[in-house]
Structure 1
Amino acid sequence: MEFFWISFFLSLAVAHVTGLRCYSCEGDDCQETEVCKEHQEQCRTTVMTLQALPKMSSYILKGCDVAGKPNNSLTHFSGKYTVFLTEEHCNADLCNSRAPNEMSTRIARGRQRSTLDCYTCASSDKTCFKTTLVPLRCVLPRESCVDITSFTMPEEFPADEERIKGCGQLSQCQEPLGFHNQNSFYLIKCCNTSWCNNDVQDYKSKPLAPNGVSCYSCEGNSTHGCAPENVAKVQCQGPMTRCLEASGIHGISGEQSVLKGCASSSWCDSPYTSVYKNLGAIQSRCCAEDLCNDWIKDGTLKPLPHSQASHKVTAQRTLLSTCLLLSTALLLSSERS
């Protein structure tokens, strides 16, 4: 009997140590699995379908991911292709066995009434800053017109899509969501009337107007990127009127990472930092005074007064990850070659 209980508790300990298991592979025949790291709390399935009638091809990616990333979808034009992006997350062992078939769902339901007409573009084919944007009819009534801007300075991913417009279902996008510092700029806008995503401003060459707020800015860790000598001051732009600081574990490297900059109030209330910077076990804090984002010391968020309790980001629904934008550009490039 004693041996039974020893074995039982050992099995529990092993189960705890091994952590979440997910399918991790590329392609339709997905049999490989992986054990997720401690900071990876979800399984992910990403599907990208490229349609250029009569031809259609799909790409599937599966694996472990950090918490806080959502189920979302986006449709847009890029060159001769219609691009359908879908990403789903779950948090049980091997729960990402299936691949969402967004195209079958759309075809089965057909064009429904009360859908929007939106503009569509992709920066890879240089259509996002033209005076005449391409029209796109949304398929599902719950889709909004979307406008996503995402770039780094210098470019972290040279082939990445910096601007996408189209139809989509992006969570927590009722108000403009934005973050920027001296390294990055992200602005996500959704709207629910036809042709409302008609903004053609190039935010890289013509930034948004300063709003009078100043914040500390850095990206990296306490020895490189966010060391005291690397921290700069930036003038906040547009709706980014809060100072943000965050600390977490990078989803790929597994190293502690720090982020400081300007954010919109809506960004502060959502886990967009986790999505775009791929951070797990994240702790973040926003504040409303100039240069108030100085609480992270030695890579971690120090204890705050009870009146300013730290905010630990939970797994909420939010925007599609940069992985989708990067995957689009890379796969479209391979199709063209």
Structure 2
Amino acid sequence: MTFFFWTCFFFLSLLAAHVLGLQCYSCDGESNCLEPQVCQEHQDRCRTTVMTTLTRSGISTYYHKDCDMSGKANNSISYLSNNQVVFLAEEHCERELCNEHAPNVLDVLLARGRPPNLLHCHSCSSADETCFNTSLAQMRCSRPGEQCVDITSFTAPEEFLQDELHIKGCGELSHCQEPLGFHNRNSFYLITCCDSSLCNKETRDYKASPLPLNGVTCYSCEGNFSQGCAPDDITQVQCQGLMNQCLEASGIDGVSGRSSIVKGCASSSWCDSPYTSIYKNLGALHTRCCTGKLCNGQIIDKTTLKPSARSQASHNPTAQPVLLSASLLLWVAFLLCSESC
């Protein structure tokens, strides 16, 4: 009888956990916090973001844990800001309460026998407005495999300080073998990586001095059908630089859980990467890129959107491929740095 009782209790617990949804540790603070939270229906991953700042007076670490969506993996970057070194690392996992542990940059910094051939990279950040200086600071990367990175992100019109982001430094960013770019009427993103010391020396202000037009025209919009991507809200945009393909993507907004759409110009490397999901915070993402004037007009109503992340289709790996890439929520990084740097 006792065995039967505990067996039933065990299976009922599993059933309750399935009904409630995935659980992840979710909190913010200066310690590796362990507070469980039930994720929303559209969230099927756990995330840990750790920001460590190194100054002459010591080392401080800030932890952010939460639920997240599929299509994202692990990434890291380090850069100089306000006379300190900022290390940002983000990890994702998909098991129950799997984000217990957090990446520890001290293990890397204090390791003995660091190889002598680590890259030196130019470094700057929006927080101290140094990225347009003709004389950029330099930093030494901390791990083999890191590249020199250059990241530009801004929205138009700019609503908040963190809407414009510039970072140069060392990092391990996925799908960064070629420059990654996307823009539409509302936003601009450009990510480049290179493998030789001090190769990230570009100081161009892409807002004041845009890339040259490439002759391609695409539809542009962001949002759902009640705001931003209704037929009357869709505009046309002339594409810049390497962004010579038209992109349209539909997914689930990570905050509201509602269907969302993005249209604009993209590089071929961006089309093959997860950065639409990263920068637009979309899960269960379906992306389509095409070549030709105004070819990104197929997603025109809600019936074309993919189902939510916990639908039957999303549990079938053949029905919805998982994007094998890394995630860096750079707007989170800048927000954290603005608050604590």
* TM-score, structure 1 normalization: 0.90
Classify the secondary structure of the residue corresponding to 1:105: helix
Q: Partners of 2:263 and 2:160 in 1: how far apart? A: 20
Which AA in structure 2 matches 1:172? H
Corresponding position: 1:245 with 2:248 = yes
Larger mean CA deviation between 49-58 and 272-281 belongs to 49-58
Classify the secondary structure of the residue corresponding to 1:290: coil
Q: Partners of 2:107 and 2:206 in 1: how far apart? A: 36
Query: Residues 165 and 334 of structure 2 are in contact (CA less than 8 Å); yes or no, is this contact kept in structure 1?
Result: no
Match of 1:308 in 2: none
Give the drift of 1:162: 1.2
Identity of matched residues, % = 56
Q: How does 1:26-105 map to 2 (within 5 A)?
A: 26-27=28-29, 28=31, 30-105=33-108
Change (3 A) 1:234 1:160: closer
Match of 2:231 in 1: 228
Corresponding position: 1:187 with 2:190 = yes
Q: List alignment gaps of at least 5 residues for structure 1.
A: 304-310
Q: How does 1:1-337 map to 2 (within 5 A)?
A: 13-27=15-29, 28=31, 30-109=33-112, 111-160=114-163, 162-301=165-304, 314-332=322-340, 335=341
Give the drift of 1:106: 2.5
Which AA in structure 1 matches 2:24? C
Q: CA RMSD in A?
A: 2.3
Corresponding residue pairs, total: 325
Give the drift of 1:255: 1.4
Q: Deviations over 1:215-244 (max 9, x none)?
A: 000001112111111100000111111111
Classify the secondary structure of the residue corresponding to 2:122: strand
Query: Residues 147 and 171 of structure 2 are in contact (CA less than 8 Å); yes or no, is this contact kept in structure 1?
Result: yes
Q: Partners of 1:13 and 1:32 in 2: how far apart? A: 22
Classify the secondary structure of the residue corresponding to 2:210: coil
Which AA in structure 2 matches 1:327? L
Change (3 A) 1:12 1:99: closer
Q: Partners of 2:112 and 2:42 in 1: how far apart? A: 38
Which AA in structure 2 matches 1:210? L
Query: Residues 146 and 172 of structure 2 are in contact (CA less than 8 Å); yes or no, is this contact kept in structure 1?
Result: yes
Which AA in structure 2 matches 1:15? A
Query: Residues 231 and 300 of structure 2 are in contact (CA less than 8 Å); yes or no, is this contact kept in structure 1?
Result: no
Change (3 A) 1:329 1:127: same
Which AA in structure 2 matches 1:321? L
Classify the secondary structure of the residue corresponding to 2:60: strand
Query: Residues 282 and 313 of structure 1 are in contact (CA less than 8 Å); yes or no, is this contact kept in structure 2?
Result: no
Give the drift of 1:161: 5.3
Which AA in structure 1 matches 2:287? S
Q: Partners of 2:273 and 2:299 in 1: how far apart? A: 20
Which AA in structure 2 matches 1:258? I
